[in-house]
Structure 1
Amino acid sequence: MNILPLYAVPHHAEQVTDWLWQAFGTSESRDFFASVVATSQREGEMPLTFIAVEGEKLLGTVGLWRCDLISRQDLHPWLAALYIDEKQRGRGLGAKLQEHVIEHARTLGYPQLYLYSACKDYYERFGWQYIGDGLDYPNKPVHLYRFAL
């Protein structure tokens, strides 16, 4: 298994777009996710999208973004859009993708990393510290996490 920036293997962009749209979007938001994926494929710039692959098989994806929660633009950067293909879950890929983004953010000199999730208790086991609740647009409660780098 390798973790690569999506810009190195852009032929996976359509699948990543579909995953993010289906996991995190609404019926009319595919174009939004296509835009996010397209702008996250520039070397040396944020946002960045990383993918996990085995050969040519796409396993999962994760992003390093400036902002992932409009109501908390004071926090940055963010681990965002972590998604593992349903057939690949249970193999520890979520942890490996998190570790990759954490190390990348560390090499860029950031002192911390943030994420939000509707799930509680998943990220704590990987060292994320719960810092409170927030609101996703328009009024969905979410849990906020910080990882000290």
Structure 2
Amino acid sequence: MNILPLYAAPQFAEQVIDWIWQAFGDGLPREFFQSVIDHSQTPGALPLTFIAVEGEQLLGTVGLWRCDLISRQDLYPWLAALYVDEAARGKGLAGLLQEHVIAFAAQAGYSELHLWSACRDFYERYGWRYIGDGLEYPNKTVHLYRYSLCPSAGGTTE
């Protein structure tokens, strides 16, 4: 299994668009998600989309985005649109996709990552810290998380 940027395997773009539209669309048109994916395939620039593949099989996707919650544009960057194909679930792939984005963001020099989720108790297992609630447009309460990328996070200080 390999995790790579979608721009390295653009033949998977349509499947990624369908996945995130079906999983996160909630009334938004497919074209919205197509635009997100179309604009997340420039090497070295945000947003970026990563995919997990095994041979010619697409297993999952995750994004590293500038903004994933319009009401919290003060937070930057975001782990976004984490999706694992149903046939690949239960094998730790969601954690591997998160680890990939975390490592990429740390190497790029970011000090923290953010994400929002409608559910609780999933991301905490991977080291994300709940920081409060936010508002997804137009009026949906969501849970906000932060992941510190600083090497000393959680370490002992003198």
- TM more than 0.5: yes
Does 1:131 find its partner at 2:146?
A: no
- Tell me how large the CA RMSD over aligned residues is: 0.7
Map residues 44-123 of structure 1 onto 2, 5 A cutoff: 44-123=44-123
Structure 2: gaps spanning 5 or more residues: 150-158
Match of 2:12 in 1: 12
Find the aligned partners of 1:102 and 1:86 in 2 and give their Cα distance. Answer: 23
SS at match of 1:41: coil
Match of 2:153 in 1: none
* Number of corresponding residues: 149
Find the aligned partners of 2:145 and 2:28 in 1 and give their Cα distance. Answer: 28
SS at match of 2:60: strand
Per the TM alignment, residue 87 of structure 1 is displaced from its structure 2 partner at its CA by 1.0
Does 1:29 find its partner at 2:3?
A: no
The one-character-per-residue Cα deviations of 1:75-97 (angstroms, maximum 9, x if unpaired) are 00000000000111001000000
Q: Could you list the runs of 4 or more consecutive aligned residues of structure 1 that deviate by over 4 angstroms after TM superposition? A: none
Larger Rg: 2
Which amino acid in 2 is paired with 1:64?
L
Find the aligned partners of 1:124 and 1:58 in 2 and give their Cα distance. Answer: 26
Which amino acid in 1 is paired with 2:109?
G
Structure 1: gaps spanning 5 or more residues: none
Cα 1:80–1:28 shift into 2, 3 Å:
closer
Find the aligned partners of 1:28 and 1:62 in 2 and give their Cα distance. Answer: 19
Find the aligned partners of 1:28 and 1:141 in 2 and give their Cα distance. Answer: 18
Match of 2:142 in 1: 142
Find the aligned partners of 2:57 and 2:114 in 1 and give their Cα distance. Answer: 29
TM-score under structure 2 length normalisation = 0.93
Per the TM alignment, residue 29 of structure 1 is displaced from its structure 2 partner at its CA by 1.4
